[in-house]
Structure 1
């Protein structure tokens, strides 16, 4: 059975904003390795469209190794996109799902293979409500954003997580690895 890993960047005050973090070479390298280990990544429309930025580095590499390596990894991993408005993905390694997130994840979990990554706030919230996430990886940046989209918005049930590991980066970011604690 495949593992579902929710991996997301957030600020110290709990906001998810790809622009608020301070990604550096070390963090790009970490996420490049995570992408290489995964068999697919699930995105909602908004995050998917943000991630399309990396296609520009495939066509025109930046010359910064960690960013170019990340661009190649994100380009290669199959992407499953959940959207009610997109008609196509314009990315060879991406496809639109024709199922609900719950149906798609339940089907993916039953297949053999590597981990399935979830990289969108909205999908993480939906999957949390259905207890379909096996591991959480919160990359917390040493930034207080003051405003933005809170990760745990509209979560109405208590969830107790068990810390299983941490990883600290030179720039001050920390990845907290959690699994759902069985009560």
Structure 2
């Protein structure tokens, strides 16, 4: 029986961090071409799984970004796609979420396992803590690293410490302006 695929796709510094010291994300500003890649990805995602912090950041901006002064056509499209995309937010501290999202306060691994076994389109996962739990449980089918040519020296790592090896197969490479490199790997099972 086919299962839904789960992909971890995030910006990462060359030294392996998704956020620099103090949660700095300023180094990951996308070119127009990279922004279009992320927008198309949101448009094709059947369900997004978010940890609390990435949810808070995304939900603070994108629900109304298309109505802000100076919003570009690309930002308007992304905002609409993001609002329309179903989302599950995993948090033990939030009591509610809004928009096209539902909250899960219990066992994230059990819920992700249940969602993977269900019907629907591909799923993306975001947030270092949530992604780490899914990695440790061998639930990630694909890793998409969008590597920026910067060394941030510390912060939040893309990969947590794992207690076993995970073999991967290179599925795609793509370059973007500014020396940004996308590498997509499929988990070998």
TM-score, normalised to structure 2, is: 0.88
Q: Is the 8 A contact 1:25 1:67 kept in 2?
A: no
Within a 5 Å distance, the mapping from 1:33-112 to structure 2 comes to 33-52=40-59, 53-60=61-68, 62-89=70-97, 91-112=98-119
Paired position in structure 2 for 1:7: 9
Paired position in structure 2 for 1:177: 184
SS, match of residue 113 in structure 1: coil
Could you tell me which runs of 5 or more consecutive residues in structure 2 were left unpaired when the two chains were aligned.
20-24
Q: CA deviation at 1:114?
A: 0.9
Change (3 A) 1:61 1:113: farther
Change (3 A) 1:160 1:87: same
Change (3 A) 1:62 1:72: farther
Could you tell me which runs of 5 or more consecutive residues in structure 1 were left unpaired when the two chains were aligned.
none
Paired position in structure 1 for 2:126: 119
Q: Tell me the distance in 2 between the aligned counterparts of 1:61 and 1:42.
A: 29
Q: CA RMSD in A?
A: 1.6
Q: Tell me the distance in 1 between the aligned counterparts of 2:163 and 2:118.
A: 30
SS, match of residue 177 in structure 1: strand
Q: Is the 8 A contact 1:61 1:68 kept in 2?
A: no
1:151 aligns with 2:158: yes
Q: Tell me the distance in 2 between the aligned counterparts of 1:156 and 1:61.
A: 48
- For these two proteins, the number of residue pairs brought into alignment is 181
SS, match of residue 183 in structure 2: strand
Q: Tell me the distance in 2 between the aligned counterparts of 1:70 and 1:28.
A: 9
Q: Tell me the distance in 1 between the aligned counterparts of 2:149 and 2:72.
A: 23
Q: Is the 8 A contact 2:11 2:145 kept in 1?
A: yes
